A and B are shown apart, each in its own frame.
Chain A
């Protein structure tokens, strides 16, 4: 744990307007709030589609943030990974109670960085893209353009299983944006996040049929947090939009009821 952070103190992340979508249960049963963090190119809407309402129906206040430069949040063409992690910690700290953070794709890496700056009650890393050379090699067509400032390309075929009707998949794909070139660079460089503060339990969730995150990468991330991944075969990278979206969120909520 690093306590001297002169760079962060000398150059604090600039504020940015953030979109936060929410769904809260009718009665507050004291369950911890969930904060969903979308991956690069995705906005809060991907969780608003199914998961927020579902979590609220099961008694969990649910929130999703759009990282700066995504969704309805303010434009941020120069954003860094640190700025994204700051966005997450800001929203988490604003919630009434200690939050559970659920990050997806590269948003899982952002979450991992945020966990070093906010003591989450628990965390879930969904189809985590932790970057580094492995990510680039597995997805050369996706990541090569990023090296030249073009931005990661996320074609629908890579994100969803074949079960999702083509129309829906195309509809989602047209709503995707892109992370800043700088953040993508930092993703490919793959700096290891500092260890989480407050020792939260961490669950890694993914699919062996994810075409962006390899099974080995999934296991590597899970191992780093001392566990094995929870797998949903047959699903695509975007678990929360796929046809069988209900299964992973139910498993996550079950796990939370037991552990947090």
Chain B
């Protein structure tokens, strides 16, 4: 296989071929730049290489794995994290996780898997570790100037020009921190879940966990076992699905229904029934009733929370009204006295190195991308892994990147057809990728159903098959 660029490494440079604001720009020719070496960046590199592209990847940390490397300073992963999707949904579709692993592997295994993926496909020689991307700017001919420097800002900046850019910087690292009245006067400790690493942080304390996403529920369960007290605040009711149903991983049961082609309503009915007869009505523990049907938001998968609610080790409470010096007042008037508050309120997407207008970012910070990946009018730019699936992320981002690599190939082989595909994608800029009615909070901006989304990917791949292009 020949690579369209083999110009040595970006560090050694060679003569600058252009200038930008008085700085030299080193031309990397047909090479594609990948920002980040988490799961999304790795699969971007692997699939671009497979389609014959040269790749340079910049990673601000000194190792691969992104969020799954819990030693990375921005990793949101804590010591007890296990996958919430079972193996068939969690692995790259062309690189199975080992049979010897359990249905729901631990975060250290996921990291091992990603390291192995990087070695197996010989990706590491293409990664510039300890290097962060600080600027991405359009250059002539749909190309991109990427400014990098060593992480932390030591040393000078360098600009390289690329044929295309994949943004794979992750969207689970910039904490969403709600504002509360009286918070600055509160004497207890307040941390975001991003700073929670280990159950030892909870030991013997009176803990209030805010937010009932998967993170909040995991931390509440840890607090139930370690803390002196645990209150769990949620502002709405959710469906808490157990990891196993009918003797099998719950997501496999759900896909059995999909395989049988049961319509959404029937699946919802069956799931509601199953949960009702097994888990039961959660309002009996004082939890709010879900304000939506199941499958309308990505599920919270946690078998243990219900167990600890039943043991009285977790006390469900409503949303926070305000903070006082020594206490927290809840909506409804109750006052509690935690000495540690963990805000498990999720994360914001941040693209600090690129003009937000290019990604269609609105005032609330929400980007507007076709299939949550392809910005309007910028055929050589893609965002990888900006999805909140009802299953695992890895297979989806794999196919996104197969499609992007093919799109780039088609631009060379059949430019007119590539433009047509691009236009078609842009026409669906605001399409929703869930069958269900999605809840409106920012937690659900990138919500997708894996089957609805993959159907769209299938269509895109069919359009991009080069045999089709020749005809």
Contact = CB atoms under 8 A, between A and B. Distances in A.
A binds B: yes
Interface of A: 1-12, 15-16, 86, 89-90, 93-98, 117-119, 197-199
Interface in B42-68: 50
8 contacts: A3-B454, A4-B451, A6-B259, A11-B256, A12-B252, A86-B96, A93-B120, A197-B94
B399 A3 contact: yes
Nearest to B121: A98
Interface residues of B, number: 29
A117 B122 contact: no
B323 to A, nearest CB: 45
A95 B255 contact: no
Given A15-B99, A98-B120, 17 more contacts: A4-B451, A6-B259, A7-B259, A9-B88, A9-B251, A9-B252, A10-B258, A11-B252, A15-B100, A86-B96, A89-B96, A90-B98, A93-B120, A95-B120, A97-B120, A119-B94, A199-B50
Nearest to B86: A12
Given A12-B88, A15-B100, A90-B99, A6 B451 contact: yes
Nearest to B95: A93
Interface string B259-275: 10000000000000000
B79 interface: no
Contact of A3 (B96, B251, B461): B461
A6 B99 contact: no
Contacts of A16: 99
Interface of B: 50, 87-89, 93-96, 98-100, 119-122, 251-253, 255-256, 258-259, 399, 451, 454-455, 457-458, 461
A2 B256 CA distance: 18
A13 to B, nearest CB: 8
Nearest 3 CB-CB pairs, A to B? A15-B99, A10-B255, A6-B259
Contacts of A197: 94
Contacts of A89: 96
Nearest to A119: B94
Nearest to B459: A3
A119 B96 contact: no
Overall SS of chain A's interface: loop
Contacts of B259: 6-7, 10
A118 B92 CA distance: 10
Contacts of B88: 8-9, 12
Contacts of A198: 50, 94
Contacts of A119: 50, 94
Nearest to A197: B94
A98 B121 CA distance: 6
A199 to B, nearest CB: 7
Contact of B119 (A1, A5, A12, A97): A97
Nearest to B113: A93
A118 B95 contact: yes
A86 B94 CA distance: 11
Contacts of B119: 96-97
A98 B96 CA distance: 13
A99 B89 CA distance: 24
A96 B120 contact: yes
A15 B98 CA distance: 9
A90 B96 contact: yes
A199 B89 CA distance: 24
